[in-house]
Amino acid sequence: MKIGILGCGNWGSVFGIMQHRNGHQVKIWEYDQERAQCVKDTRNNEPFLIGHELPAEIQIDWNIENTLCDVDLLVFAVPSQVLSGVIETLKKKKLSSKYYLSLTKGIEIKTLRRPSEIIGELRDAENRVFVLSGPCIANEIIRNEPTAVVLVGQDQTGTKELQHQLSTETFRVYQGDDIMGVELGAAIKNVIAIGCGISDGLGFGNNAKGALITRGIVEMQRLGVKLGAQARTFRGLSGFGDLVTTSFSEESRNHKLGKKIGAGTNLEQASREMVMVAEGAPTAKAVKILADRHRIEMPICNAVYDIIYEGETPIKAIRNLMSRPLRYE
């Protein structure tokens, strides 16, 4: 299979290397010309990918048309808040891909759209958009550590084909059928993971984190079901599985961001100190809007929003959560 990847960050690079090892032809687009040339010449993609070079057989290009040309699968590995800009560019191009695959996790603030909805604006994209999600710490994948993910799409024949094409000995792809649930779980878990990082930054232990994770799943499910997702999806790889991994991993950018904030750093400074985008920060805004609009109770997500955007102190936010009216689980 010929694969074109839009996005030369950590996940895009690792996904490309993994699929190159899997026997596929891979091309990766990097929007910055100078950086693309540097990666192409040196095969070094630091600081996004440390300790691993991109194989010489993987084509790196800043000219998006070269990446789009003659590919079977076009993969989106760009941040959620810039995805629509990429799609606007693609609308002016000739596309030959049989399938479109989203690796993006988040919700666009301006429109509250999920990544698959944004990609779905492409001409003839109906039934050709797929989503891959789950507990995917990229640096573990590149070390060939066991990983399981879920793949969803409206076309079950296409889903099955991609499942078999993308699976490897250490990267197991399951089929699913709930696009909305998978994408909402992937997005909201980043907000909860920031909350877990804040808890760690405050010096709290695993009791607090366990409470945040389990009650966070409840919040995911409340909003997801209201919007039309299946409740069981949030107990699967893209919900509970991804949330646990993201909340405990020291390599998780959302956990890192939360930990910095919990230790006293504000969002602006913490974001500057990080190399990669923590999707949970903008997603917190989108989740807040959705929860208010649909009158869904999401106290943990609201607390994260209040801390990073309203100036609430982390310790006060925790106290507010703990002093809520007592109720059945």
> Does 306 show up as a binding residue in the annotation?
no
Determine if residue 124 is labeled as part of a ligand binding site: no
From the candidates 27, 98, 160, 189, which is the catalytic residue?
189
The answer to whether 189 is a known ligand-binding residue is yes
The token duo for 103 is: 């690796």
Residue 105 labeled ligand binder: yes
Report whether 10 belongs to an annotated binding site.
yes
Distance of CA 295 to the CA centre of its chain: 25
**Is 106 assigned a ligand-binding role in the annotation?**
no
> By the 8 A CB rule, do 142 and 114 touch?
no
Q: Any binding-site annotation on 8?
A: yes
User: Known binder of ligand: residue 71?
Assistant: no
| 139 labeled part of a ligand binding site | no
Q: Show Cβ contacts of residue 69 under 8 Å, excluding neighbours closer than 6 positions.
A: 96
Judge whether 311 is annotated as a binding position.
no
Our answer to whether residue 2 is catalytic in this structure is no
The answer to whether the annotation marks 13 as part of a ligand binding site is no
Exposed/middle/buried for residue 115 (C-beta within 10 Å: 0-12, 13-18, 19+): buried
218 assigned to a ligand binding site: no
| Binding site as annotated, residues for sn-glycerol 3-phosphate | 105, 134, 189, 242, 252-254
Which residues does the annotation mark as catalytic?
189
| Binding site as annotated, residues for NAD(+) | 7-12, 138, 253
| Binding site as annotated, residues for substrate | 105, 253-254
| Binding site as annotated, residues | 7-12, 105, 134, 138, 189, 242, 252-254, 277, 279
| Binding site as annotated, residues for NADPH | 11, 105, 138, 253, 277, 279
